Amino acid sequence: MSFRGMLADEDALSPVIGVVLMVALTVVLSASVGVFVLDIGSQVTQQTPNAVVDYDFEVDGNGTETVTLTQAGGNPIQAQHVTVYVDGEVAWDAGSNSSDFNIVGTDEWADGLEGGDGLTIETDASNVAVGDTIRIVWQKGEQSAILAEQQVG
């Protein structure tokens, strides 16, 4: 067979290209079906919420300290996933307070955090000191995030 004959003969090229294209199409289709069936896409797109929280600290003459937390912006957040820590100690968890901290007035966070909702926690001066950190933590399943953090003082 001559060199010119090989260039003119295209019979073997067309079936090979067809097989390669069919294999590539099969791989792409099976990957697409796998993503939807295994629901891989939703795990990637779940994001932690964000919140802008205003803090107000007050100390009266009797040694009682009051911390008012107000969500000033961000996403609406379900209360069951939120915990408020004062210097590492749980002060409020999903709508209930701990024994050292009392909720003053209406607990607007009990049914979820939305813009303008407030939570006022009262305690004696032995539980909160200048330099302590107030931290609002969101946790849902394996995911967690610090929504807001502020030092007393």
The answer to whether 69 and 53 are in contact (CB under 8 A) is yes
3-state secondary structure of 100: coil
Residues 135 and 63 occupy one common structural domain:
yes
- Full residue range of the structural domain in which residue 72 is found: 51-151
Whole-structure pTM value: 0.65
Q: Residue 103 is part of a domain; what is its CATH number?
A: 2.60.40
Q: In what order do the strands lie in the sheet with 143-151?
A: 96-97, 89-93, 82-86, 133-140, 143-151
Does the pLDDT of residue 144 top 60, yes or no?
yes
Residue 34 and residue 59 in one domain: no
Q: What are phi and psi of 65, to 5 degrees?
A: -110, 140
Instruction: Summarize pLDDT for 6-53 with one digit per residue, the tens.
Output: 556 556 567 778 888 999 999 999 988 887 777 766 655 567 788 888
As a 3-state breakdown, the chain gives helix, strand, coil percent values, each rounded to 5, of: 25, 40, 35
Extract the tokens encoding 103: 């909720």
Per-residue pLDDT tens for 44-95? Answer: 556 778 888 888 887 776 777 788 888 888 778 888 888 888 888 888 887 7
Q: Check whether residue 14 and residue 71 sit in a common domain.
A: no
